[in-house]
Amino acid sequence: MSYSLPGAPGELPHGEQRLRDDTRLRWICLGLVGATLGLVLFALLRSPMKDDVAWLLWVARQWLRGEELYIDIVEVNPPLIVWVSAIPVMIADALGLTAKQVALPLFAAAALGSAWGTARLLRGVAPLFAQPVATFAAIACVLLAMPGVEFGQREHLMVIAVLPHLALLVRKLEGLPVRRGLALGAGALAGLGCALKPRYLLGLAVIELAGWLHRGFRIRFSPIAAFAVAGLYAASILVFYPAFVERAVPLALTLYGGTDSSFWVLLRESRLLLAGLAVCALLLAVTPRRDPLFSLLLVLTGFAAAATIVMFLDGKNWFYHRIPALMMVTFALLCWVIEALRRGAGAARLRPVLLLAALAPLTLFAAQTSGRLYERLVLAVEPDTTTEVRLERLIRREKVRSYVAFSEWIGLGFPVINDTNVTWASRFDSMWALRGEIWKARQDGVAPEEWPIRHWVVQDFMEGCPDLVVVDRRGEAMNYPAILSQANAGFAAVWARYRQIAVVDGLQVYRRQGEGCGQAAGTG
């Protein structure tokens, strides 16, 4: 007796065909993640490292060698980011690699782990997340590609740490079970992530309040763990790092405003983010409260709004300050668009105009992300064209032992110092504090006595006696040698022994003639 399967000859049974389609989708998604990961790591490992991240890796190394944070090294960030940066430094030393070669893959692994954990937690929330591999791929690609050169910044690491906590809140709002141990772990991780930049605790508070307004007051272990960990961390700083409170915080409050941008500049430069956030708010308003998509949009939009407020409070027109809000808006719009396409024309409430409104910022976000990644790929293919690599070659050619750069651009010091292993002749990462002192003096009519930055820069210069000095006089940069000479006659005498030997991308490069620098007069 023979049996025939339904369907046309050669046609697979429905169940088997669906299994093959699911398998094909998984491989496509994993291939997309693999390609994104490969492109990002190639671009970042082959091109100069982001200056802030390179500086923190250098600070972590000095800390591991016994230097005191906030005393021997001027740093205005709380110590957690230094502890985090110390991990790749220790691994690199054990394996004989550079900190960069370990840090970037380690941060990428954290992003992939967060994406996978978040995808698993979202499964069951809505049909949209029925395929965890597809959800993982979407989250992972955004986490890997969107930061560009800012990969590994505190804001980026914060998003990586917070995502599982957000997914747990969405589960809870939809009445799905959450294991207590998992809630405590995700909450603790979110608390540590926000502790990298404590203002982002506002985001956790906002989404918790939004959840209460949506489903009523409920006690959840995840936010309790998050705020408890953040509180313990704050207490540990008071106990073990009093210098942070006594020195770093007052220094930042007094002088960091010199790098602020006006509200109107921030508004103009953040227009795309604000447009995307406005679309998210619109989509939230038209989504029925009983729809699982509402809970997801509520959490992501709430955190994005809080992150945008934090960005404006910081007052800095730096792209990485917009990363948390941009990523949350991207996730929200991406989920809404995919769900709208999945439901199709049968869902009358999904009007074409809303789909276009969501696709517009998404398309622009993708274009900007592609542009940033392309820029790094160009530098990865031709690293010799970068200012940092040209300075590194000059340092090696001149057999330099110590070096300093008079510039507000941290990149002239780091990663140059990381890659050449010469001595950095300053307690500061750049001249931002000097600019802040001058800015404060103009505001108040007198320089702040408790922060004599000019004298500290001179003191470090005289004690470090750098072989090579880069002076940035491009654009509206300050005349650093003149300012420091006016502050200290000893500096003027020593600076007279430096001769310009090169110009690198508009930067003036000076070499010390002879040995020794003597002692600066009037330094403290």
Dihedral angle over CA of 366, 371, 373, 377, nearest 10: 150
Residue type, 209: L
Chain mean position to CA 174 = 31
Q: What is the predicted pLDDT for the residue at 519?
A: 60
Chain mean position to CA 337 = 26
In sequence order, which residues have a C-beta less than 8 Å from that of residue 465 and are 6 or more positions away? 402, 425, 512, 516, 517
Q: What is the predicted pLDDT for the residue at 2?
A: 42
Q: What is the predicted pLDDT for the residue at 43?
A: 97
Digit-by-digit pLDDT tens for the chain (524 residues) are 444 444 445 555 666 666 676 788 899 999 999 999 999 999 999 999 999 999 999 999 999 999 999 999 999 999 999 999 999 999 999 999 999 999 999 999 999 999 999 999 999 999 999 999 999 999 999 999 999 999 999 999 999 999 999 999 999 999 999 999 999 999 999 999 999 999 999 999 999 999 999 988 888 899 999 999 999 999 999 999 999 999 999 999 888 888 889 999 999 999 999 999 999 999 999 999 999 999 999 999 999 999 999 999 999 999 999 999 999 999 999 999 999 888 774 454 557 889 999 999 999 999 999 999 999 999 999 988 999 999 999 999 999 999 999 999 999 999 999 999 999 999 999 999 999 999 888 888 777 888 899 999 999 999 999 999 999 999 877 899 999 999 898 999 999 999 999 999 999 999 999 887 866 544 44
Residue type, 91: I
Q: What is the predicted pLDDT for the residue at 516?
A: 78
Q: What is the predicted pLDDT for the residue at 93?
A: 97
In sequence order, which residues have a C-beta less than 8 Å from that of residue 219 and are 6 or more positions away? none
Report pTM: 0.93
d(CA 314, CA 308): 10
Query: Three-state SS for 402?
Result: strand
Residue type, 364: L
Q: What is the predicted pLDDT for the residue at 352?
A: 83
262 DSSP assignment: -
Identify the helix (H) or strand (E) that includes residue 403. strand 402-406
d(CA 84, CA 508): 35
Whether residue 85 contacts residue 418, with contact meaning beta carbons closer than 8 Å, is answered with no
In sequence order, which residues have a C-beta less than 8 Å from that of residue 504 and are 6 or more positions away? 387, 390, 391, 394, 470
Strands 423-424 and 402-406: parallel
Token look-up 């490969």 returns 38
Q: What is the predicted pLDDT for the residue at 383?
A: 87
Dihedral angle over CA of 43, 45, 49, 52, nearest 10: 100
**Token pair of 152, please?**
């590994």
In sequence order, which residues have a C-beta less than 8 Å from that of residue 66 and are 6 or more positions away? none
Q: What is the predicted pLDDT for the residue at 3?
A: 41
Q: What is the predicted pLDDT for the residue at 447?
A: 74
Q: What is the predicted pLDDT for the residue at 521?
A: 47
Query: Three-state SS for 511?
Result: strand
